[in-house]
Each structure stands twice: as structure tokens, then as C-alpha cells.
Amino acid sequence: MKKPVGITMGDPCGIGPEIIARVFADGLPEQAVVIGDAKVMERAVRALALPLQVQPIASVDEAIRDTTLIPVLNVSDLPDDMPIGQVDARAGRASYDYVVRAIDEALAGNIGAIVTAPINKEAMKKGGLNYPGHTEILAERSGTDKFAMMLANAELRVVLVTIHVSLRDAIELVTRDSVLRTIELAHKAGLAYGIASPRVAVAGLNPHAGENGMFGREDLDIIAPAIRRAQECGINASGPWPGDTIFMRARKGEFDIVVAQYHDQGLIPVKYFGIDNGVNVTIGLPFIRTSVDHGTAFDIAGHGTADHSSLRYAFDQALLLNAI
């Protein structure tokens, strides 16, 4: 990768700073720059007694490639007494600012990819920002209107038609256009992973994919026509398949990627295999973005026990997607 990877620090009161510090301590194969708060990162390094130093920088090109340094693009100047493991409006606002700065750096070509540590929605809301998650911030700031969340691990790749909305609202948001758009994005994600003709399997909305209209007509009237349209466009799509068997079939190698209709339908199967080697990828953006597959974990923040495996996996996936 010619440009550094930008790692956003996430919520300063969560586990983001400490898992980032541990990833740097283990060694990274490519240059990385933390986008966050230098003082908060220094606190994490001291608490973990790691043999590292924080290098505050004003621009990405100031970063020095040195295994003993953590370059931090200093975006905030939080007070020394910031709490650990608590919801804080200042932290919520700062975590948003880190993501925005990362997006701007990526759009300017200063970083080659964005890897995000976890943010806290409640803290952001207290800070005056009403976003359901990273995905919506990334899309809005980059001017992207066709995007989707993909969760992936060694077993499954799953793309969601609807994300952070109530189940009642999700059903209304499953339309021919939204399903077709997600199938197209899933196809592009498969291509990004180097698959020549990705086999995209589409899950049904209702039990047994509606059982030919017995359990609702959404699968017949909405999802099936979207699949046919995708096929007409040359996409290797199939379904709708029952949600209770589609993931097992994908895991066995029958499909390359699954389109799920709503949040829990898609994420429960992925997270069942554990979050250590899971990655969240936002597809459709004008840059690469991967993320950890877990939250801020306030209950263990500051204890020095947080597992950094998911962050390292997200970093490696960003390099992989950049290389293909």
C-alpha cells in the first residue's frame, strides 16, 4: 500500500485506544496512522505498559515508519480526566470528528484505507449527533447514496438490505429497488475479493421465504422480481432462499456471499462464529473502509483485557481489498 492506513480511535472512553495500542505493539505489515487524540493514546500505552511512544502529527505525511512509534493525527484535545468505561458527550463528539477527518483524508488521497475502532451511539447522541452508526456518517460525508454494510469472516460474507432500523421499519424498507441495489453491491463486493463471478444468494424475508405466498407475499412480489432483474443484468444471483438454511449452504461453499433482508437475520449467523475474526466492510464508498465487529465494551474498558484480534483482522482485510 502506497499510502498509510488511517485507524480512527473510536470512542475515547471505550476499548478503542487500548486495542489500537496492542495492534501497534504486535507490529503491523504496513504504515498506519491513528486519527484521534494523542493524550488519550498516551494514557492507553502507559496503562498497558507497552514499549511504545506516541508521535503527535499535524498531517499524515509527518508520520515516521518506526515500530516503536504510534503516529497520531491529533484531531481533539480532550481533558486529562476523561472517564474510562462511561458514556460521555465529549467523547461522542470527538469520535465523530475522528471519522470525519478520516473520510476527508481518504477523499484527498492521503490515506489508502480507513479502519475504524468502535464508537458509541449514545455518547454521540449526547454530543448532539444523531447517527445510528459509522455507515451513515461515511455515506453522508462522502456523498455516497448507494452503499451497504457487509459482515465477513472466514466462514461467511453477508450484505444487509436494511441496517439500523426497527424490525417494523425494516419490513417497509425492503423494496424491489433496495433489494436490487444490495444485490448489485454484493456482486461488487465479491469482485473486490477477486471472485470472477460471485454467487450471490438472497435470503427471503418471511419464514421459508414465504412458502409460495402462504406466509406473506413479500418474497414473491418484491424480492423475487429484484433477483430476476439482477440476473438480467448478468449477476449470478439466486433465491429467495429460506433464511434458516441459506447461511449453512453458504458456509458449505454453495454461495460466495449472502444478501440478508434485515440486521439480525444477517448478523446473528456471522457473529455466532465469534467476533475476533470478523470484519465490518462498508461497500459502495469511494474508498476502502473496514471495522471491528464489536462495540466499545465499556464494561471492560481500562482493564487491559480487551482482545485486539478483530481490529488486526480488519486491518489485514483493508490491505487485502486494496491489493486486489
Q: What is the pLDDT of residues 143-181, one digit of tens each?
A: 998 888 899 888 899 999 998 889 999 999 999 999 999
- Beta carbons of 170 and 266 less than 8 angstroms apart: no
Last residue of a domain, one of 228, 250, 272: 272
Q: Tell whether 123 and 9 lie within a shared domain.
A: yes
The structural domain count of the chain equals 2
Q: Tell whether 297 and 317 lie within a shared domain.
A: yes
Is pLDDT above 90 for 278?
no
Is pLDDT above 70 for 215?
yes
- Beta carbons of 68 and 53 less than 8 angstroms apart: yes
Name the band, by pLDDT with cuts 50, 70 and 90, for residue 294. confident
Is pLDDT above 70 for 275?
no
Is pLDDT above 70 for 323?
no
Q: Read off the pLDDT of each residue in 263-287 and give the average, rounded to a whole number.
A: 86
Tell me the percentage of the chain whose pLDDT exceeds 70: 98
- 81 versus 322: which is more confidently predicted? 81
Which CATH number goes with the domain that contains 97? 3.40.718.10
Question: Domain limits at 249?
Answer: 155-272
Q: Tell whether 17 and 128 lie within a shared domain.
A: yes
User: What H or E segment, with its residue span, contains residue 137?
Assistant: helix 134-142
- CB count in 10 Å sphere of residue 268: 12
Q: Tell whether 79 and 170 lie within a shared domain.
A: no
Least confidently predicted of 11-15, 93-97, 164-168, 239-243? 164-168
Q: Tell whether 50 and 67 lie within a shared domain.
A: yes
Q: Tell whether 205 and 109 lie within a shared domain.
A: no
Q: Tell whether 118 and 1 lie within a shared domain.
A: yes
Q: Tell whether 123 and 267 lie within a shared domain.
A: no
Q: Tell whether 19 and 132 lie within a shared domain.
A: yes
Q: Tell whether 2 and 129 lie within a shared domain.
A: yes
Q: Tell whether 139 and 220 lie within a shared domain.
A: no
pTM of the model: 0.87
Q: Read off the pLDDT of each residue in 230-236 and give the average, rounded to a whole number.
A: 98
